Amino acid sequence: MLPYEITVSEVKTRLDRGDSLVLLDVREPWETATSSIAGALCIPMGELPARANNELDPDSEIVVFCHLGMRSLNVTAWLREQGYDHVQSMAGGIDRWTREIDPKVPLY
């Protein structure tokens, strides 16, 4: 089974090489309006139980992210309990993404 966390540099490498990843943003709408990663699917953490089965494929490789990485780690654990075996949390969240990968994404 995959480790629970993946680094931002690993995510960037995989995206650059064309791997099929679902970037799942579990932050609140005001947060995604403030800063976002292009192409991410936005489902706030509180809405995930109602929306996961309709909007996520359990066979897809899913990278969950939030602001700093705590919510995404909790969502990763929950999704794995639901049978999503190919899900990982992006360590450090969008904050680390901005600091290490794309400084154009606003910090907040």
42 in active site: no
Count of Cβ atoms closer than 10 Å to residue 79 Cβ: 22
Q: Which of 66, 79, 87, 94 is catalytic?
A: 66
Give the separation between CA 92 and CA 95, rounded to whole angstroms: 6
* In contact, 24 and 63? CB cutoff 8 Å: yes
Give the separation between CA 56 and CA 102, rounded to whole angstroms: 26
| Enclosing H/E stretch for 96 | helix 93-100
Kindly list the catalytic residues: 66
